[in-house]
Amino acid sequence: MSQIRGRFQKQIDKAAEKYTASIHFDWLLYPYDITGSIAHARMLAKHGIISKKEAETIVSGLNSIKEELDQGRFEFKPELEDIHMNIEARLIEKVGEVGGRLHTARSRNDQVALDLRLFTKDAIIRTLSRLRELQQTLVDLAEASKNVIIPGYTHLQRAQPMLLAHHFLAYFEMLQRDAGRFNDCLKRTDVMPLGSGAIAGVAYEIDRDFLARELGFSQISQNSVDAVSDRDFVIEYQAAASLCMMHLSRLAEEIILWSSQEFNFVELDDAYATGSSIMPQKKNPDVAELVRGKTGRVYGKLIAILTTMKALPLSYNRDMQEDKEGFFDTIDTLLSSLEVFAGMLKTLHVKPENTVQAASQSYILATDLADYLVKKGESFRTAHDIIARLVSYAFEKDKSLSDLSLNEYQEFSPLFSKDVHSITVESSIAARNNTGGTSPKQVERALITAKKILRESGDAK
C-alpha cells in the first residue's frame, strides 16, 4: 500500500496501483535521487533546519541504501509508486523517524525535476563521447580514402565525380551539428530546480546556491512554477536525438546500397552482417538496417512527449510521469546506435576499383564540358543546351563522352578543340577547389579542421 494515503478512507485499487506505479522504469534515477537527497540533507543542517547529527545519520543511511541498490540487493515495492518513495521508506526503516525529516523543504515535484536533470546531464555527456568516437571513425575513413574516387549522386542518379573522403566528411559535419545541439541542450539542462517545492517555493530559509554548488549546476531556476513543470530539456534531447538518428539512418541507407551487388562499392565485415535462414549466399546488412529502423522508434518517442506536454496546465500533472520511459529508451537507442555504427565503419572495406569505374562511366563529366564551353566564351545556359544535345547524341550512338571524336564534338560547337579530351574525373575533382569543394586540397584542409575539432573537444584518440 502506498504510504501517501493521508485523507483517504480507502486503499487504492490494485489495478490502479499497478497502473500508476513507475518504479519499473524510474528506478534508473536512484543514483541521482540519492545524490540530491544527500546535498539536501547537508543544506538543511547547514541552516539549522535539522541538526548536524540528524544530517549525518540521514547521509549514512542514504549511502548504505546506494550500496544495496548498486549490488542489486534492494527490494523495490511497487505499492510505493516510485524510486523516491522506495528510497525514503527504506531510509526510515534503516535510521528511524529521523529519516522522515529529509523531505523537509522539498516536494516530489522538485525532487523528480532535479533527478531527471542530473540524469540528463550525464546522458548528454555520454552521448557527446559516442558522437566524438563516430566522428573520429569518419575522419579515419576519410584519411584512408583521400585518393578514392566515387560518383556523387543527386536523385540517386550519377551526377559528378568526387572523393570518397569528401563524402564521409559530409557526415562529420552533420554529427558536428548534432554535437552542437547536445551542447546547447546541456546548457539548458544545467539549471537546478531543487527548492521550488511543489509549486510555489518553500517556507524555509534554504540555500539554493549551496545546493547548486554541491550538485554541480551552473544556474538556479528562477520560477518555481516553471521549474517543476518544465520538461523542455527532455524534449530538446529527444529532438536532437531524432536529428542525430536521421543522420545515422541516411548513412545506413548508403551503406546498404553500396554493399549491394548492384553497387558493390563496399563490403561489410562479417561481424556486422548476418546470413539468411534459407539462402546460403546472402550477406545481409542487418546492423545498418536496424539503425535505419530504430530511427522511427526515436521519432515516435519525441512525438509522444510533445503530445503529452502540449495541453498541460501549470504546474505539475501526473501525465508528466510519461516523460521518462520513452526518454530512457531514446537514450539507450541512440547510444547503442552510435556505438555499433562506429564499429561497423571501422571495419568497412572499400572497393576503390569499383567506385572509380562507376565514376568514369555514363555521362558524369557533362557539367565539366559545359564549364569548358563557358571558359571559351559561351553563356552557361547555351552551353548547357549544347551539352544536353551532345549527351543525347552519344547515348543514341551507344558511346561514352570519351569515345566521341573531336569532329563529333565540333558538330555541336566550334569552340571545342583537342584539349576537350583532357577532361577526366581527376581533373573534374581537382577543379572543385573552393572552400567546401571536393578537390584534394580542400579535402586535406577539411581533414585538418576536423582533427582540430576533435582535439579541442577532448575526445579525440
Cell numbers for 109: 515535484
Domains observed in the chain: 14-104 (1.10.275.10), 109-199+230-357 (1.20.200.10)
Range picked from 1-5, 169-173, 455-459 for highest mean pLDDT: 169-173
Relative to beta strand 219-220, strand 191-192 is parallel
For cell 530546480, the residue is 193
2 — pLDDT class (breaks 50, 70, 90): very low
How far apart, in whole angstroms, are the C-alpha atoms of residue 142 and residue 165?
4
Average of per-residue pLDDT across 14-34: 90
- pLDDT of 7 higher than 80: no
Q: Is 407 exposed, middle or buried (0-12, 13-18, 19+ CB in 10 A)?
A: exposed
Catalytic residues: 155, 276
Per DSSP (E only), the strands in 332-398 are 349-350
Query: In sequence order, what are the residues at sequence separation of 6 or more whose Cβ sits closer than 8 angstroms to the Cβ of residue 223?
Result: none
Nearest to 84 by CA among 120, 54, 112, 44: 112
460 — pLDDT class (breaks 50, 70, 90): very low
Tell me, what's the pLDDT at 458? 66
- pLDDT of 461 higher than 80: no
How far apart, in whole angstroms, are the C-alpha atoms of residue 67 and residue 368?
68
What number of residues does the chain have? Answer: 461
Q: Is 329 exposed, middle or buried (0-12, 13-18, 19+ CB in 10 A)?
A: middle
Q: At what angle do helices 52-70 and 83-95 cross, to 10 degrees?
A: 120
pTM flag (> 0.85): yes
Q: Is 155 left (phi over 0), alpha (psi -120 to 50) or beta?
A: left
Tell me, what's the pLDDT at 12? 81
Tell me, what's the pLDDT at 6? 63
Tell me, what's the pLDDT at 277? 86
pLDDT tens per residue, range 174-218: 999 999 999 999 999 999 999 999 999 999 999 999 999 999 999
Contact 382, 414 (CB under 8 A): no
Tell me, what's the pLDDT at 1? 32
Q: At what angle do helices 440-457 and 164-189 cross, to 10 degrees?
A: 30
- pLDDT of 34 higher than 50: yes
pLDDT tens per residue, range 222-275: 999 999 999 999 999 999 999 999 999 999 999 999 999 999 999 999 999 998
Mean pLDDT computed over every residue of the chain = 95
| Mean pLDDT lowest among 141-155, 266-280, 321-335, 336-350 | 266-280
Q: Hey, which residues does 150 pair with through a beta bridge?
A: 162
Contact 37, 103 (CB under 8 A): no
pLDDT tens per residue, range 67-87: 999 999 999 998 898 999 999
